[in-house]
Amino acid sequence: MECLPYIDEHVITVDVNRADTWSALLMLWCDNPHDASTVRAPFFALEETVPMHRLALTGRHPFAVYRLVFELDDQGSGRTRLAAHSWADFPGVHGKVYRALVIGTGWHRVAVRRLLKQIAAKARAGVAT
């Protein structure tokens, strides 16, 4: 994928080990939670995976080209640092309008934080069962 402008990073600490957090991440994004190549999210495709450490997704549509990367790191005591990094380009006039709607309004920030919270909740639920 081409070099895209950096948008942001969002981080959450999950009170679950990295293996369970990784499983929760794949449960959210993939048809098969044991196989990252089964990404099912609309407008996203798998770019790269390093099991239990990194899931990189790319996508494009008429108004944007983007990349979303999740990284997991051990924090000790069974905790995981889960980060989401975003890059995107918004070409043309329509792209500039779309960027204003998605990034400028704060919708992207809210959506990514919600994703991180969903992953954390799935990880905690998986441990509880």
Q: Digits of tens for pLDDT over the chain (129 positions)? A: 569 999 999 999 999 999 999 999 999 999 998 899 999 988 999 999 999 999 999 999 999 999 999 999 999 999 999 999 999 999 999 999 999 999 999 999 999 999 999 999 999 998 655
Name residues whose C-beta falls within 8 Å of residue 120's C-beta, 6 or more positions apart in sequence.
12, 14, 15, 16, 21, 24, 82
| Distance from C-alpha of 80 to C-alpha of 119, rounded to nearest angstrom | 11
Residue 42 is predicted with a pLDDT of 86
Residue 127 is predicted with a pLDDT of 63
Residues 65 and 4: beta-carbon distance below 8 Å: yes
Domains of the chain, first to last: 6-128 (3.30.530.20)
pTM above 0.85, yes or no: yes
SS3 of residue 51 by DSSP: coil
The single residue listed with the structure tokens 């959506």 is: 111
| Distance from C-alpha of 123 to C-alpha of 23, rounded to nearest angstrom | 7
What is the helix, strand, coil percentage profile of the chain, to 5? 40, 40, 25
